Amino acid sequence: MTLQQTIAEYLRYTGQKGLDISAALIDCDGVLYDSMKYHTQAWVKLMKKNGIKCTRDEFYELEGMTGSEIIKMKFKTGAGKNVTDDEAHALYGVKTRYFRELGEAPVMPGAVRVLETLKESGIVNVLVTGSQQDALLERIERDFTGLFGEVKVTGHDVRKGKPNPEPFLKAMNKAEKKPHQCLVIENAPLGVQAAHAAGCFTIGVTTGPIPEKDLYKAGADLVYKNMDELAAALPSLLVALSLIKA
């Protein structure tokens, strides 16, 4: 499919008359940081300590759900245990400690260039993450100085994790944007599903083991191999998107 056909297809299934992109809603783990290998390792450690069998791949599939959603689900299916909110909160604290012990995840190659290109094109970058860690949010300020706008959505703002569209709907609401004004950059199938359900033009990046076809199946409009490839393609993509103004 050509870029023009992809955009036409987006307009067809959303019923939008045109695109007028002025905001990019950007996920954090697996997009800004190469952090998913650490998260999946920390999740497996937590589950094993609690006698729950699992593989790292499962946690790539679950990325985007909130920490307590993941804990409640895995303890129920893996150990037949109903975890309370307080217990889930405490267990998530342990998982976060295991994650931190692995050291700082590197900035994703190409991420800075993607954000710079968007900003130079007059597009406001909006962080949309399920994370509630203040240390991470401060780190983003440091690693991506001046590249994000004022508005951001974090784990403090949302009640339902992805694939519920709430995080993206909240971001659009806060930034005063409509779906045809937003593109989303996501790496996880549940994140792509949430963005697609919110009606945004959704770009997937396969920065982990999840194959391209799974992101298309989840509803991605376009999929790039990684953030470097997206950075290289972005200038012509933005031209193509701007030609379709309503």
Residue numbers of the site for Mg ion (CB under 5 A)? 27, 29-30, 187-188
CB of 108 to Mg ion, least distance (A): 10
* Angstrom distance (rounded) from CA 219 to CA 175: 23
> Virtual CA dihedral for 148, 150, 155, 158, nearest 10 degrees?
-120
| Nearest approach, Cβ of residue 109 and Mg ion (Å) | 16
Shorter beta-carbon distance to Mg ion: residue 108 or 244: 108
For Mg ion, give the closer residue by CB, 30 or 163.
30
CA distance 143 to 147: 9
Rank residues 117 and 187 by Cβ distance to Mg ion and give the closer one: 187
Closest distance of CB 104 from Mg ion, Å: 17
Residue 187 C-beta: closest distance to Mg ion, Å: 5
Backbone phi, psi, residue 185, to 5°: -115, 120
| Residue with smallest beta-carbon separation from Mg ion | 30
Q: How far is the CB of 58 from Mg ion (least distance, A)?
A: 15
The backbone region for 110, taken as left when phi is positive above 0, alpha when psi lies in -120 to 50, beta otherwise, is left
CB nearer to Mg ion: pick between 27 and 221:
27
Residue (128 or 147) nearer to Mg ion, CB: 128
